Amino acid sequence: MNAQRPPEASAPLLQMEGITKDFSGGRVLFGVDFSLHPGEVHALVGQNGAGKSTLMKVLAGVYPDYGGQVRLGGEPIDLRDPRDALEHGVAIIYQEFALVPEMTVAENIALGQEPGERGLVSHGQIRERAAAEIARLGLDLPVDVPVKQLGVAGQQLTEIVKAISRRARILVMDEPTARLSGTEREKLFETVRDLAAAGVGVVYISHFLEEIFEVADRVTVLRDGNVVAVEPTSALDLPRLAQLLVGRDMGTAAGREPTVQGATGVELRGLTVPGRAGPVDLDVRAGEIVGLAGLVGSGRTSLARAIVGMERSAAGSVAVGSWSGLPAHPGEAAERGILLLAEDRKRQGLVLQRTVSENVALTALRSSLTHRGFVRLRERARVVGELIERLRLV
């Protein structure tokens, strides 16, 4: 944020005008206008599927077939290739990070930098530069550790340093806090504010509306590929923003009665992961959504893993229907009807080289979809088709 001068007073870094984008399924952006000023944190909000990521991928040069006009620093520009965006100082941090897990923090940061004079840099230089960049941003990151050994927050910060080391003038963060804890979030906000104070324009996408009021100067609300509002954050409050987002008053949802009338779906008894979680007793009824809240390290993930048989040392019991025990592995839990959507879906839950159908059918591989070790393809197509229909998955 820029205290002396409102961001609007300066020339815009970015103007997107009348942006359209079609996929084979139809149009998803219907003439979107979006602008960003130096030093501004501009939040882009909207429900799932509203078009936020697509708009930012247009800016990243990922979709050469967009319609409308983009200007960077007032100059019209064709964004037909990711290099066009990079060359103009646009850096995007996606929900799914683009780091090389086996490489160290320093090496990943170096991937974002221009090579040295003869295109060569020594290992020492790579470390030095990374350390300098990290220090300049006032961050705390170990340069020699492979990023796969860092938590989500550390990976996030590595992405930011990588983007900033390219001298990005526009930084887009697509749901950066989705998997961060409270303190990690605060640290990220501080970094975002520092970057803005240094003149970087930040586009901040988040589902957490409270965050918008904490970091953003201005908000653009997208609904079904259309801009429904552009407002300074100071002109909005939480209920109003929620209403803009969904297109109706949210008042009724807040007073919802808890649905505890259903039959018991799952019962946890004395479920323990030694040293990490429990003992926990918990009943979850059919039709009920139960939130497990706690600080990082309080045992939420360990407990979830224990329920599906991923914690060898777990003790206690899980009861579903007439069965009670501890699943020996996630496959057994799945047979009992207990599934885990892992924290890091990209690594733990999906096989990215495989199709949507194959992934959807993955947990069912031992059941009716297989016959003597072979996958029944036609049956799989039918079951997956039904599921996709029911979940409205594209």
54 binds ligand ADP (CB under 6 A): yes
* DSSP sequence for 263-317: PEEEEEEEEEETTTEEEEEEEEETT--------TTSSHHHHHHHHTT--TT-EEE
C-alpha–C-alpha distance, residues 28 and 226, integer Å: 9
* Secondary structure (3-state) at 386: helix
Would you give the distance in Å from CA 209 to the centre of its chain? 15
- The region of 45-53, 60-68, 188-196, 368-376 touching Mg ion under the rule CB under 5 A is 45-53
Residue number with CB closer to Mg ion (53 or 155): 53
C-alpha–C-alpha distance, residues 46 and 156, integer Å: 22
Residues 230-269 that bind Mg ion (CB under 5 A): none
- The region of 6-14, 42-50, 134-142, 301-309 touching ligand ADP under the rule CB under 6 A is 42-50
Q: Among 35, 53, 233, 272, indicate the residue that binds ligand ADP (CB under 6 A).
A: 53
Q: Among 12, 14, 50, 53, indicate the residue that binds Mg ion (CB under 5 A).
A: 53
C-alpha–C-alpha distance, residues 311 and 240, integer Å: 44
28 binds ligand ADP (CB under 6 A): yes
Smallest distance from ligand ADP to CB 77, Å? 21
Q: Among 10, 17, 33, 49, indicate the residue that binds ligand ADP (CB under 6 A).
A: 49
Residue number with CB closer to ligand ADP (26 or 124): 26
Residue 165: its H or E element: helix 152-165
Residue 324: its H or E element: strand 323-325
Smallest distance from ligand ADP to CB 180, Å? 19
Residues 251-290 that bind ligand ADP (CB under 6 A): none
- The region of 51-59, 136-144, 160-168, 348-356 touching ligand ADP under the rule CB under 6 A is 51-59
51 binds ligand ADP (CB under 6 A): yes
C-alpha–C-alpha distance, residues 294 and 288, integer Å: 19
Question: What residues are paired with 16 via a beta bridge?
Answer: 34, 70
Q: Among 50, 90, 137, 361, indicate the residue that binds ligand ADP (CB under 6 A).
A: 50
- The region of 48-56, 115-123, 252-260, 345-353 touching ligand ADP under the rule CB under 6 A is 48-56
48 binds ligand ADP (CB under 6 A): yes
Listed in sequence order, the residues at least 6 apart from 209 whose beta carbon sits closer than 8 Å to its beta carbon are 45, 238, 241, 242, 245
Listed in sequence order, the residues at least 6 apart from 62 whose beta carbon sits closer than 8 Å to its beta carbon are 82
Q: Residues interacting with Mg ion, by CB under 5 A?
A: 53
Q: Residues interacting with ligand ADP, by CB under 6 A?
A: 23, 25, 28, 46, 48-54, 394
